Amino acid sequence: MRHLIALCIAALLLTVLPASHAQAQEADTLPTIPYYTSQEGGRQFNVPIPAGWQVDDSHSDYLRMTPTADAETNAIYIMALTPGTETEEAIRRIDDGWTLNRRATSEIIFDGLAWDLSAFDIAEGGNISAFMQARDNATYAVIHVNRNAAVDVYMMGLQPGIGEDAITLDDVMRRLYPDFNAAPDETTDLLLGNATWQWSAFTADEDAFTTLHQQRAGSVYAIIERGGGETVDSVNRAIYTVIFGFFITPDNADFMWAGIIASIAILLLLIGAYYARHRNAEKDLQLIEQLESES
């Protein structure tokens, strides 16, 4: 009995030490970017909140993020939708009164995940860059809306097909403005949080264009502003923070239930085996008692 008690104490130490060690590890964790986590069960997504932006989760259809300094004209909407939802349908959840004109489409890959990218003009003023991704029995949308009618703001990315030449900024510009043909007036390299980007200023048909783009593995990712370039940097940082940090909590509850049921079933099987052996032993005992009485 003393040995058993000693063994129990050892087991308790074995129990508590790993867990307390695990808790001690928590103190070493680096500070993390603030994240917003949606509460939609199986369609749960997680999105980082860009620095200087605020979250509005009061709407049931979407999560809205706006820059603190420019909440009226600039916003990013994130939503989890039923599979197969079209981009226009997602945008209409934000405002179903908008008249949308599709300007360009593309497919880009971030961190190995493909997004369908569409650029729209809003006839009532402003424009939209919408990222759509079908995954885990849902469609996820990240939509940037510019409501400032005085400027255009688009996010566009292009990647070359197999055997095609590397994409240039001109290719991206012509995807949005087919007649665009201008050389940059000014170009500067900018070291941002996620890489070195090229800032360029153009003048074409008396319009000023400001672009911030990055060329990577033959593809070009660009934020384009037809205007003075006041918002291009802020929008670039926010969209890339959201897109690169965006992740979906997988819906794998079925596997969890399978594991729980299997664990309980194994325990019940063991208990059942003990019970069956006990019952058989009792039958043996009855037989023995019967034989004893007969003899």
Partner 1 sequence: MAVSATASTTPASGERPPRSLIVLTVITALSVGVSLYLTLIYANTDLEQGDVQRLFYIHMPSFFGAFFAFGATVLGGIQYLRTRQTRWDTLALAGVEVGLALSIINLVTGSIWARPIWNTWWTWDARLTSAAIMVLTYAAYLMFRSGIENPDTRRRFASVYGIVAITTVILTLVIIRIVPDTIHPAVIGPSPQNAEGTFEATTNVAIALIPNMIIWTTIIPIALMWWRIRLENRLEAINRRKIALLSEDNT
Is 15 one of the binding residues for partner 1 (CB under 8 A)?
yes
Task: Considering the complex, state which of residue 166 and residue 269 has its C-beta at the smaller distance from partner 1.
Answer: 269
Using the contact rule CB under 8 A, the part of the chain among 1-9, 58-66, 138-146, 226-234 near partner 1 is 1-9
Task: Pick from 54, 82, 101, 263 the residue near partner 1 by CB under 8 A.
Answer: 263
Comparing CA positions, the residue from 154, 156, 151 lying closest to residue 73 is 151
Among residue numbers 266 through 285, which ones bind partner 1 (CB under 8 A)?
Answer: 266-267, 269-271, 274, 277-278, 281-282, 284-285
Least distance (Å) between residue 268 CB and partner 1:
10
Task: Pick from 79, 256, 272, 293 the residue near partner 1 by CB under 8 A.
Answer: 256
* Structure tokens that stand for 201 in this block: 């200023």
Using the contact rule CB under 8 A, the part of the chain among 22-30, 55-63, 94-102, 190-198 near partner 1 is 22-30
Cβ contact 126:94 at 8 Å: no
Is 149 one of the binding residues for partner 1 (CB under 8 A)?
no
Task: Considering the complex, state which of residue 24 and residue 69 has its C-beta at the smaller distance from partner 1.
Answer: 24
Q: Quickly count: other Cβ atoms within 10 Å of residue 95's Cβ.
A: 12
Parallel, antiparallel, or unpaired: how do β-strands 74-81 and 100-110 relate? unpaired
Least distance (Å) between residue 277 CB and partner 1:
6
Instruction: Tell me the C-alpha distance between 108 and 98, whole Å.
Output: 26
Q: Quickly count: other Cβ atoms within 10 Å of residue 210's Cβ.
A: 23
Residues written for the chain: 295
Task: Pick from 69, 165, 292, 293 the residue near partner 1 by CB under 8 A.
Answer: 292
Place of tokens 């104490």: 9
Among residue numbers 42 through 81, which ones bind partner 1 (CB under 8 A)?
Answer: 44, 46
Task: Considering the complex, state which of residue 14 and residue 162 has its C-beta at the smaller distance from partner 1.
Answer: 14
Instruction: Tell me the C-alpha distance between 173 and 294, whole Å.
Output: 104
* Structure tokens that stand for 275 in this block: 């019970």
Residues in the interface with partner 1 (CB under 8 A) total 54
Task: Pick from 123, 195, 262, 272 the residue near partner 1 by CB under 8 A.
Answer: 262
CA atoms within 13 A on the CB side of 64: 18
Instruction: Tell me the C-alpha distance between 141 and 168, whole Å.
Output: 26
Instruction: Tell me the C-alpha distance between 147 and 183, whole Å.
Output: 28
Is 293 one of the binding residues for partner 1 (CB under 8 A)?
no
Instruction: Tell me, residue by residue from 164 to 203, as one string, x for binding to partner 1 by CB under 8 A and - for no binding.
Output: ----------------------------------------
Instruction: Tell me the C-alpha distance between 55 and 144, whole Å.
Output: 14
Cβ contact 120:25 at 8 Å: no
Is 20 one of the binding residues for partner 1 (CB under 8 A)?
yes
Q: What are the strands, taking DSSP E only, across 170-284?
A: 186-192, 195-204, 207-216, 219-226, 247-248
Task: Pick from 67, 122, 253, 293 the residue near partner 1 by CB under 8 A.
Answer: 253
Binding site for partner 1 (CB under 8 A): 3-4, 7-8, 10-12, 14-16, 18-23, 25-26, 29, 35, 37, 44, 46, 247, 249-253, 255-256, 258-260, 262-264, 266-267, 269-271, 274, 277-278, 281-282, 284-286, 288, 291-292, 295
